[in-house]
Structure formats: C-alpha cells, structure tokens
Structure 1
Amino acid sequence: MALDYDLSSIQEARDLARKAKEAQRVLAGYSQQQIDRIVAAMSEAAVANAEWLARMAADETKFGIFQDKVKKNLFAAKNVYEYIKNMKTVGVLREDPQNKVIEAGVPMGVVMGIIPSTNPTSTTIYKALVSLKAGNGIVFAPHPNACRCINAAAQVLHEAAVKAGAPEGIIGCLTKVTMAATEELMKHDDISVILATGGPGLVKAAYSAGKPAYGVGAGNAPVFIERSAEIKKAVSDIITGKTFDNGVICASENSILIDEPIKDKVIAEFEAQGGYFLSKDEVEKVSRVVMTPKGGMNSALVGKGPKVIADRAGITIPEGTRILIAPLEGYGPGFPLSYEKLTTVLACYVVKDWEEACHLAIELLNLMGAGHTFAIHSQNDEIIREFIRKPVSRILVNTPSSLGGIGYTTGLAPSLTLGCGTIAGSSTSDNVTPMHLINIKRLAYQTCQVETQPKAPCPESSISAEDIAEVVKKVLAELKR
C-alpha cells in the first residue's frame, strides 16, 4: 500500500511540473503590465484570506500564535507586494546609453517552492508572489505536517491568478506529500530552480539536485546588549522578537550576550518585562525537554509558550512569564540550549566587552547558524560598525531580530527566504526577491574599434634545405650510438 501511495505521489509531482511548465510557457509571453495585474490580484486575495489561513495553519501545525500568523500572512501579502510591485522583471529592465548595453529580464521557468511547517501559509504567499512577479510558474512541496493549510493557500493564490488572466496550472501544490514526490520534483526536467525553506537535510538535498537552488540555513541569532544601549527598549525588542509567533522565525533571537557593566540592570529589566531566569537545575530540566540528545530541537515544543515548556519540564514559573532565559557557562554539545531554539527559550551569557561578545557570537554562529543573522543593541556607532566585518549576512541594529531580519522593521527586502551566503553553503546572502528568479540577458553594441595592422612578412631564412638535412643526419647518428 505504501509503495502504491509513493508511486501515486510521484505521478502527481510529474503532472504538476508538466502543467506548470505548459502554463509558464504562456506566461513568458505576457507583458509587465499583465504580470503586474496578476500579482496584484494574488496579493489582494491573500490579504482577504489571511485570517482563516492563519487559523488553519495554527490548528494544523499546533505551532506559534494565531494572531501573529495573521500578521505574517499580511506581511507576505502586503509588505512583500508593496516592495516588488514596481519592479521591472520582464522585457527591457534598463539601458546604459553611454556603454551601449541593454539589459532584459527573462523568467527562469518553473520554481519548486519547498515550504516549512513553521511559517507555512505566509511562506506560500511570499514564494508565489515573487515567482509569478518574475514570470515563473511555481509548484509547492509542503511539509507533511502543514499540507492542508499550504494547499489551501496555494489554491487561493491560483484562483486569484487565473481570474486575473494567468494560465491554468501556473501554481501547483502536492497533495500527496512523500519524500519520493519531493525528490521527483527536485530532479524533474520541468523544474528550473529550487527555492528551499526547511530543515538542513532538505536544504542540502535541494542543493544536491543538480540544478540552481536558493536555500536557507539555521538561524541561532545571537543578540548583544552593549553597555551604551537603551536597556528598556533593548529588552522590549528582544522579547518582542523572540515571542513573535513563539519564536518560529529563523531570524529570531536565540542567545543574549550581556555587556558586564550593565548586567544587573539588564537582568532586572528582563524580569520586569516578563523574563524568567532559570536556575542551574531548571536549565538542565528545560534542556532535556526542549532539545534532543543529537542536538536538534524537540519538534513537540516548537513554537510553544513558556508555560507549556515549564509544565513539560516539571518546573514552576511566575504567572505572566513571557520568556524563559537560561544562563549558560559554555556552548556546544555540553550545553544543548546554545543551539537554535524555535520556541520561547533564550540562552544567556555575560561578556566583559564588545570584543568578547564578537568572539562568542561568531562561535555560536559557527556552532549553528553560520552566515545568518546577528543583532546588536547599542548607541555607539563605532562599535556597531565593527560588526560589519564579521562573517554574518545580516547585522541588525536596535530592532527585534526576527522582524528586522525579514524586513518588517528594517529597510531590508521583505522576504521569508533569508540567504546565509557561502559561509553556510548558500548561493546568496540576500533576502530573496523576484530579481533572484530571473535571468538577465544583455544586448551590447560595439563601443570601440579593434586596431588592425598588416602583419609583417617573415624574414627570409638564410638556412638552406641542405643545412637542415645535414643537422637531421647528425641527430639520427647520435641516437644510434
């Protein structure tokens, strides 16, 4: 029976890829105006359906907070749309009259969108908008624990796109979710590029599929509270970032690094705003339930509030606790909470100065989250700028990390796929936009003449044929000896 289901899922994958490719060939002939009309209709439909899609995602996955999922859906539907709506993506993009070069955008073809369970409907909305804006079709491979809500979002977007003039089949989604079907899509000839958001294993598989791919790594973002920081705002921002949808965004804060001179004030402010500092014994108990022996996170506690975690760990926390904070003396295998935690738990370290904070931040990112995101709260611009040279793709200043990283509270491109650069084996360090999903061809006119000079005749040789024959004879005679 399982084999039959796998075969059926593989066939579905092939059918969806074929239909999307046929539709994309038609879409590739559309003007920028026609594309923009379709994308606008998709955005409008996603806004109108944001609430019930969020409810469906929360009910199906049991992750996060319903109200925050609504905000994420609206972020994908509105903020992303506002950022991309005036982009030129098809036809002539720009002309350089001085160098006589014309650049034109060409769709890549069909995108495979791998969707996680942590941000299922919002990521579906985002990937559909950026893919069609670039003139591509898209086929979604959902996480099995979020299949229904991802399919529902894809259907909403497909209906809106077709109603606005897009060809039928331009957006597809697997309903029979198996690894066999996902792998079939990755390697299918009608898929041109893979846009992967998910666990490390799936992202690695996407990069191994033999075609272009954009994948994202783990987050595990450290956040440094430097001695010049506005402490009350810094603490508020960190709690806001980590509790947004209960910490399931990959750019969310995972470790606090407190500058030693302000340690007592920061701890007092966290406690005043709902942070609970775990005792050494409580750290061990929380570690055992939140993390697995292999260093991963217990999926049952992804996106859960502090009360759920505390109850599972068998500890008592004050009423109104918003975040659990685990003071740690080290990092790595002996300190499980130093790894990425997509839930309402933060590791905590005290550092003597910004240089030690920098070293520790890099160590934490190398442990997990290389190249992803670092946040700093400081009023010292000289120190802030020191971190530009560090091996990380996003340095976020005085803002919630989770929301700043995706471009909600910063000027970064609004996106739900955050590249980590070659540091983490990612093909980009950008927040992915439609411009990553087009090919750019260039028409170039000659700008300078090639100077040509007549070749000088070879000088006549003074060596005769008889001389050459004599040399050959001597060489052959030497060889016979």
Structure 2
Amino acid sequence: MDSRAIEEIVAEVLNKMGGNSRSLAGSSKPATPTPAIKKATAGNRKGVFPDADSAVEAARGGYESLRKKGFAARAKVIEIVKAMCSAKAEEWGKIELEETGIGRLDHKIEKLQILSKVPGVEWLKPYGMSGDMGISMEENAPFGVIATITPVTHSIPTLSGNIVNMVAAGNAMVINAHPGGAKCAAMAVDAFNREIEREVGIENLVTIIEEPSLESFNALCASSGIDLICVTGGPGVVAAAMKSGKRAICAGPGNPPVVVDVSADLDKAATDIITGGAYDNNLLCIGEKQVFILEPVFDDFVAAFKRAGGHQLNAKQLETLTNEAFTNSKDAGGCSHPVLNRKLVGASPEMLASHCGARVAAGTPMLFAETDAAHLFVQKEQMMPMIPLVRVRDMDQAIKLSVQSEHGYHHSAMIHTSHVGHMTRMGQAMNSSIFVKNGPCTAGLGLGGEGYLSYSIATTTGEGITTPQTFTRRRRCVLVDALNVVG
C-alpha cells in the first residue's frame, strides 16, 4: 500500500476523532508544556531525533552493537529499564499526567512500578532435536529494528514494556509516540539511553522521533531499515500498519464486556468490576466497559455496586452525559454518526458528574447507569469511568450481546459466575485474547491473578499478550552427520 493510501486511512480516522490530520493519533492540539516537562525535555537528548530516517539509522547502529554483545547485554538493559521505572515511577507518573491530562496519578505511578512483571530473556527457550542424522536446534532470532507506535493512554509504561520485550528478543527500536504523550516519552527514552550507554556501552538502542506526525509514521512504514512494525493504538493506525507491506504486530481497540449471572458473588463481582473498570479512569484497553446482568439478580447487583462505591446516574443525567460524551461527525460519504468526545476520555468521575448535573462524593471511583444494549456507552469503547448496566433475560442473551458489543475485536472479556458451563460457553463464544473469570480485568495481566504483564496485547493480529518471543523469528540450525551410527 502506498503512503498516500495510508495517509488517507489515518487522516479519515483522525477527522472522526476530532483530531489534527498532521498528528498520528488525533490529539486536538499539543499540550502546553509545564515547567516540569520543559525541564525534563531540555538539552541535548540521547536517542531523540528530528525525523524517521535519522532515528532509524541510529537504531540500526544500536542493533548491531547489541548483536555483538549478546544475551548478557540484553539482560543488563532489561535490568536497567525495570530499575529506572521503579525508581522514577512517581516523578515520571506526574510528568506524564501533566502532559496528557488524563487518568489518575496513583495509577500512572503503579503502571511503572509493575514493569517488573514484564518477562525478559528467560522467556526465550531453544528447542533441540538429535538423532541418527544429526542435530537440529530451533532458536529465537531477532528481527532487527522495530518501529513501535505507542498510545497516549500509557505513554511511558507502553514504551518501557516494549523495550523489555523487544530488547530481550535482541532488537532495537524506533518509537513514534502519540503526540499527546510525546514529550514524556522522549524524556524517558533519553534517560534510558544515557544509562544503557553508561552501563552497557550501547548508543541509540532505543530511538524516538521528537515531534511524531503522520509523515513520520508513513516514513517508518516505508523505511527499508525497519524490519517489523508494532502498533498499540486505534483501528485507523492499526489498519494502516497492516497494509504497509511489512509484518505488523497490532494491539488494537477493545470494548470488553462483563457478564454477571445468578450464581455470582454479587458483592465481589461489583468490587472487581469497579477495581478494573475504574483503573486509571477506565483507560485500560482490557478494562470493563459494559455489564450484562441476568434479570433475577439485577436489582441486587445494583445495590452491591452502590455498596462498592459506584454512583448511579438517573435517566436525565445519563442523557445529558451521553450528549456530552459523544458528538456527531460526518464520514467520507457524508453520513453523520456519533464519535467519542476526546476531551472526556480519562476524565475523573467528578468531572463527568459535573457535565450532567450530578453531585458525587469526593473519591467516587465509578459512575454507572442502567441502559439498553444499543446505548452508545455500551457500543463504543468510551474509556470513561461510567459503566452501563444492561438487564438480560438469560445466559444466551448475555453471551449474544457480549459478542455483539465487543465487535469482533477478540480483545478481553469477563464473567462472574459459579457455573463452570457458563464460563466455558462464554469463553468459546468470545474467543478473546484475555478472558477473566471471577476477578477484575487486571487479573488477566498478572495483577491479582497468575501470569505476566505486557502493555501491548496483540488482538488484531492474534499474538495475544506480547512477550519477548513475539518479537523473534524462529530459526532452525541443522548439523548433518551420522552421529549415532557406529562403524
């Protein structure tokens, strides 16, 4: 696909989002730099480049240096990144929140502290075979230089998690960050590179384009120096990456449904849904977005949700907030349709309440309201701490509406039940990359559940929760000889 076609795809999506066609992912305008951001991004920064070509060239040199230094260097880089994220979590969390203006500070900090759960070189296991005809060894080889597109929702955590995964696999990286989080991303890249150069002796292992744009994205897609593309973002950028002619690993959108049946522990279900759905003001792509509750326990669940801290909106307040949260836009064919108001993405419950005339107690984690299944808050990935509750007559309807509202993204889903058969039926119907039973969505990434963490969940291309192995090529090395034949 040529660059003009890619540009048309992304520009159309940005127009729907109310963004600027010159920026990659639709930030309406660059955030005004605060004193903290100015200080953090001043000076001659390591790994920060003005354009895609210079960033790719520098990263190629970083890749060659890493290749020569081997696994020990990879392990040391991962140690550095994890240690820095832990030590600087509070400082970097504050800077990211200042720049992006979305989410919650405590969760911005925590997302950096938990980088320790992202797997490293230990994930790469060779597989050996031997027999009369010789020896074969299958190993994980790097791709080379990976272009990564990172979101505004988790700017520093996503690029940091990608560094761990990709460098563990032996790769170097070029980052095209969301414009709304580009300054804090460049700050982190500079800090990582300085420490990596000091400790490991490798320059420009991770590079970033200082002012990311549609042009820089197109340049990365077209560059002969890029061996793989990894996108964490919305459907437009994912579509463009997949049509670029390069191998792409794409962590696309999600709209995760939740089902609560008559056998569920309602108080635990309510607490879990708020824990996951309210995390960072519902910015997580895995976060609970709509809940389908079986009719016999609906009213009891509403009571449990209130006990867990949720604040219920009445019909008039819901209507007012819906009109604020979604605006009308026209597509290329001139048809009008609702699109998300980006100004309310990641907003606090208090801010959302102020838009609809509701009064909520300080610290309220989540708003909720009863809706029908066709409501915009059900059908759109809205990323706000306002969750719709939908009555359903039985499990068949709950599963059917869950599949429909998730729109075939195959991203994430949750169920609260004591019925193993219901778990099985929903899991098979959703066929999602993450399926959590009787827990918050975060349990699907090892937070309150077993497993490992990654901020890039490749749902569109099917790799699922990314690991170092995701970013390797499988290579077979064969030694031919009659090793086991005597005489």
- Report the TM-score range of the alignment, normalised by the length of the smaller protein: 0.7 to 0.9
SS at match of 1:348: strand
For the 8 Å contact 1:38–1:166, the answer to whether it is kept is: no
Corresponding residue of 1:479: none
- Counterpart residue number, 2:101: 62
In the alignment, residue 395 of structure 1 is paired with which amino acid?
Answer: F
Match of 1:205 in 2: 240
- Look up the SS of the partner of 2:152 in the other structure: coil
Q: 1:341 to 1:360 in 2, by over 3 A?
A: same
Cα deviation 1:14-57 (Å, max 9, x = unaligned): 00101101221221222222321222122212221121111101
Match of 1:79 among 117, 121, 127: 117
- Matching of residue 437 in structure 1 with residue 452 in structure 2: no
Which residue among 343, 353, 375 is the counterpart of 1:300? 343
Q: Flag the 1:140–1:365 CA change in 2: closer, same or farther, 3 A.
A: same
Alignment partner of 1:376 is 2:412: no
| Residue in 1 that maps onto 2:185 | 150
Task: Quote how far apart the aligned CAs of 1:85 are.
Answer: 4.5
Query: Unpaired runs of 5+ in structure 1?
Result: 421-425, 449-481
Counterpart position of 2:33: none
The answer on 1:311 being equivalent to 2:354 is yes
TM-superposed deviation, 1:215 = 1.1
1:394 corresponds in structure 2 to 434
Matches within 5 A, 1:75-474: 75-76=114-115, 78-80=116-118, 83-88=119-124, 93-97=126-130, 100-293=135-328, 294-317=337-360, 321-331=364-374, 335-366=376-407, 370-390=409-429, 391-401=431-441, 403-420=442-459, 426-444=460-478
Q: Is the 8 A contact 1:110 1:191 kept in 2?
A: yes
State the TM-score, normalized to the length of structure 1. 0.84
**Higher mean displacement: 21-30 or 355-364:** 21-30
Deviations 1:216-242 (A, max 9, x none): 222110011121111111110100111
Q: What TM-score comes out, normalization by structure 2 length?
A: 0.83
Identical amino acids, percent of aligned pairs: 24
- The code of the aligned residue for 2:138 comes to E
**How many angstroms does 1:409 deviate by?**
2.8
CA distance in 2, matches of 1:266, 1:166: 57
Q: Is the 8 A contact 1:102 1:442 kept in 2?
A: yes
Residue 92 of structure 2 is matched in structure 1 by 53
Distance in 1 (alpha carbons) for counterparts of 2:278 and 2:94: 18
Name the SS for the 1:396 alignment partner.
Answer: strand
Displacement of 1:407 in angstroms is 3.2
- The whole-number CA distance in structure 2 between the counterparts of 1:95 and 1:354 is 47
- Please tell me whether Structure 1 or Structure 2 has the larger radius of gyration of its CA atoms: 1
Using the alignment, how far apart are the partners of 1:318 and 1:66 within structure 2? 19
Residue 326 of structure 1 and its aligned partner are, at CA, apart by: 2.5
Structure 1 residue runs of 4 or more that deviate by more than 3 Å after TM superposition: 314-321, 334-337, 444-448
Aligned residues: 427
Deviation of residue 173 (structure 1)? Answer: 0.9
1:241-280 per-position Cα deviation (integer Å, ceiling 9, x unaligned): 1111111010100001112221121111111222122222
Structure 1 letter corresponding to 2:473: N
Distance 1:66 1:227 in 2: 36
**Kept after mapping to 2: 8 A contact 1:295/1:339:** no
Greater alpha carbon shift after TM alignment, 427-436 vs 355-364: 427-436
The answer to whether the Cα contact below 8 Å between 1:17 and 1:191 also exists between their aligned partners in 2 is yes
| 8 Å CA contact retained: 1:231, 1:266 | yes
Partner of 2:57: 18
